[in-house]
Amino acid sequence: MSSLISNAELKSELEAILPSCNKLTIVSAFMTQPATRWLSSLISDNKPKVQLVGRFSPFDFIKGSSDLNALRDCINKGYTVKALTNLHAKIYQIDEDTIFNGSANLTGKGLALVNDCNVEACNKVQASSSSKEFINKIINSASELTLEIIDEMEQYIQSTDGTCKPELQMTWPEHVLPQSKELFVSDFPLVKPGHFAREYEFNPSLQFAQIENAREDKEVASMLFKQSKAYRWLKSQVCNNPSDRDLGFGQISRLLHDALADDPAPYRQEVKGLQENLYSYLKLYAKDELEIYIPGRRSEILRLKHGNIGLNK
């Protein structure tokens, strides 16, 4: 049975465990230099395998929630550093048996390394096979960073207008950091347009949280929607349809259910809800590219808007 511990207690436990560990995986939305330097001071010279996965959106670095130099230090130490831009989890896995999870980021405030630290809570559990599979899923879905990519990130941030809207600073351009190819429920709208899901408050880097934050500027919201993984996937189903048959609602539902990489897989009813939400966004922001029509009493059919046969895929 696990019990809650504070971030100060988490720090103490890690300081006792890490010097003798053989493998360390940290999943943390944010990472800063005070914490990564503290971490490096605890890692022994026997070079254990260290993997770090963070959110690392442009806005995180702009507002100082994460630190590019911290990531450079870690890569130079030989650690594997990865980015997953819809990440919000905080998990510390030591070897194959111990996991701490809770609210503490790998930052000075998150781990009580500074005086004005946050109040965080974590629990310590024995790692089950399902927990390890969950963590591996996060690692495999993330994109590995190199020193060259971090340099490109820094150049992009420096080129960004300081007055740029935050929702435009939540995603890297494809030439800097391509999006993960895997598709998850969190890549889809969790509610209809004009509504704001609770998950969007916890993780404003979610693409549909960004769209909702930009909805007062329809041009920007439309651009963000057309760049979203969900819409790009939907558009590709239409553009790459190998048959002459229309893509009805049920067929798209089946394709979407099979495409989602979440484990456990969502129920089909949940998938249909995501699809309905996506169609609502499509009608609002992308009706110039795709259209939904209902022939007779049949289900909603997707097709390219007339004149968009050469639509970019």
**Cα 285 vs. chain centroid, distance in angstroms?**
23
State residue 312's pLDDT score: 41
Domain with CATH 3.30.870.10 in the chain: 4-154
State residue 244's pLDDT score: 64
The domain made up of 4-154 is a member of CATH 1.10.10.10: no
State residue 101's pLDDT score: 94
Q: What pTM was computed for the model? A: 0.74
Listed in sequence order, the residues at least 6 apart from 29 whose beta carbon sits closer than 8 Å to its beta carbon are 54, 55, 60, 65, 87, 88, 89, 90, 105, 203
State residue 309's pLDDT score: 44
Cα distance between residue 173 and residue 153, in whole Å: 9
State residue 288's pLDDT score: 93
State residue 70's pLDDT score: 97
Stretches where the chain sits below pLDDT 50 are 307, 309-313
Q: Which two tokens stand for residue 74?
A: 């870690």
Cα distance between residue 214 and residue 237, in whole Å: 27
Residues linked to residue 183 through DSSP beta bridges, in sequence order: 260
Q: H-type helices in 125-184, by residue range?
A: 129-141, 147-159
State residue 259's pLDDT score: 93
From 111, 144, 134, select the one nearest 31 (Cα to Cα): 111
What strands lie across the sheet with 301-304, from one edge to the other?
Answer: 247-248, 301-304, 290-293
Helix (H) or strand (E) holding 202: helix 198-202
**Cα 297 vs. chain centroid, distance in angstroms?**
39
State residue 311's pLDDT score: 42
Listed in sequence order, the residues at least 6 apart from 144 whose beta carbon sits closer than 8 Å to its beta carbon are 80, 81, 82
